[in-house]
C-alpha cells in the first residue's frame, strides 16, 4: 500500500526527470504499481479511510511521485455529485490532439508532491484526445474535457518533469489569457 511517506516531494530530482516509456507486456511490478497507485486514490477519497491512513486526498498520481521514473499514472476524477468522470491506470499516455480553448480550475491546483499552497491559475487546454494503454496492453483513444482533462494534463506533466506551478505566471498569477474558461 502506498502511504504519504512513499510519495516524494518537490526538490527530489526524480520529479524533474523525463520518465521512460514502458514496453508490453508489462512486468508484474509495473502492473502492481499501477494498481497500488489507483488504490491510493480510492482510499484517499474515502473520508474515513483517508483519516485512518493519514492520506491527503488525490485525484491523480504518477509513478515519478513514488520515485519510479516510468510513464505510468493513475487518474480517478470524481464529479461534485460523486459520480466518476474518468478512472483508469494509464501506461504510456500521450495527448494526440488539444483544443484551442484553454481552461483553468477556479481553485488553482495542488499536488501530493508539493506541501504548500501555490496560488494562481494553471492554464491548460480545455479538451484533449488522449491515447493510452491499459494494464492489459489494450490501446485506448478517448476525448476528455474540463476537469478530467485538466487532471490528466497534470499527471502527464509529471511524466515530463513538470510541476503545476511551472505554469503559473510569476508576474500576474491570476491573469487569464483570452479564450480561457474557468472551471468551478
Ligand atoms: Ni501532482
The percentage of the chain sitting over the pLDDT mark of 90, rounded to a whole number, equals 98
158: left (phi over 0), alpha (psi -120 to 50) or beta: alpha
Q: How far apart are the first and last CA of the chain?
A: 32
Provide the pLDDT for residue 80. Answer: 85
Q: What is the pLDDT of residues 65-94, one digit of tens each?
A: 999 999 999 999 999 888 999 999 999 999
Task: Pick the catalytic residue from 10, 107, 155, 171.
Answer: 155
CA angle 164, 169, 175 (to 5 degrees): 115
Provide the pLDDT for residue 162. Answer: 98
**What is residue 117's DSSP assignment?**
-
Task: State the burial class of residue 177 (Cβ atoms within 10 Å of its Cβ: 0-12, 13-18, 19+).
Answer: exposed
- Tell me the C-alpha distance between 86 and 59, whole Å: 10
Per-residue pLDDT, averaged over 50-75, amounts to 98
Torsion angles phi and psi, residue 127, rounded to 5? -130, 140
Q: How many domains does the chain have?
A: 1
Provide the pLDDT for residue 54. Answer: 97
Q: What's the domain range around 91?
A: 4-183
Provide the pLDDT for residue 98. Answer: 98
Say how many Å lie between the CA of residue 90 and the centre of ligand 1: 15
Say how many Å lie between the CA of residue 119 and the centre of ligand 1: 15
Task: Please identify every residue whose CB atom is under 5 Å from ligand 1, which is an ion.
Answer: 111
Q: Are 103 and 182 in contact (CB under 8 A)?
A: yes
Q: Are 99 and 148 in contact (CB under 8 A)?
A: no
Say how many Å lie between the CA of residue 150 and the centre of ligand 1: 11
Q: Are 125 and 101 in contact (CB under 8 A)?
A: yes
Q: Are 8 and 65 in contact (CB under 8 A)?
A: yes
Q: What is the CATH number for 62?
A: 3.90.45.10
Provide the pLDDT for residue 88. Answer: 98
Residue that the C-alpha cell 501530493 belongs to: 112
Cell numbers describing residue 84: 466518476
User: Which among 129, 109, 133, 4 has a CA at the least distance from the CA of 56?
Assistant: 4
Q: Are 123 and 104 in contact (CB under 8 A)?
A: yes
Provide the pLDDT for residue 12. Answer: 98
User: Which among 86, 87, 80 has a CA at the least distance from the CA of 35?
Assistant: 87
Say how many Å lie between the CA of residue 84 and the centre of ligand 1: 19
Q: What is the pLDDT of residues 132-163, one digit of tens each?
A: 999 999 999 999 999 999 999 999 999 999 99
Active site residue 155: yes
Say how many Å lie between the CA of residue 62 and the centre of ligand 1: 7
Mean predicted lDDT score pLDDT of the chain: 97
Confidence at 105, pLDDT banded by 50, 70, 90: very high
Say how many Å lie between the CA of residue 58 and the centre of ligand 1: 9
The pTM score is: 0.97
Amino acid at each position: 500500500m502506498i502511504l504519504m511517506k512513499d510519495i516524494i516531494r518537490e526538490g527530489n530530482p526524480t520529479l524533474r526527470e523525463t520518465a521512460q516509456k514502458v514496453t508490453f507486456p508489462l512486468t508484474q511490478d509495473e502492473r502492481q504499481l499501477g494498481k497500488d497507485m489507483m488504490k491510493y486514490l480510492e482510499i484517499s477519497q474515502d473520508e474515513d479511510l483517508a483519516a485512518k491512513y493519514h492520506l491527503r486526498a488525490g485525484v491523480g498520481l504518477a509513478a515519478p511521485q513514488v520515485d519510479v521514473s516510468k510513464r505510468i499514472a493513475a487518474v480517478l476524477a470524481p464529479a461534485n455529485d460523486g459520480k466518476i468522470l474518468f478512472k483508469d491506470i494509464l501506461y504510456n499516455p500521450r495527448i494526440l490532439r488539444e483544443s484551442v480553448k484553454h481552461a483553468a480550475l477556479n481553485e488553482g491546483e495542488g499536488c501530493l508532491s508539493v506541501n504548500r499552497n501555490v496560488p494562481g491559475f494553471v492554464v491548460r487546454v480545455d479538451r484533449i484526445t488522449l491515447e493510452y494503454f491499459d494494464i492489459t496492453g489494450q490501446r485506448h483513444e478517448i476525448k476528455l474535457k474540463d476537469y478530467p482533462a485538466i487532471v490528466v494534463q497534470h499527471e502527464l506533466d509529471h511524466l515530463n518533469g513538470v510541476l503545476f506551478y511551472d505554469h503559473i505566471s510569476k508576474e500576474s498569477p491570476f491573469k487569464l489569457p483570452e479564450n480561457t474558461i474557468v472551471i468551478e
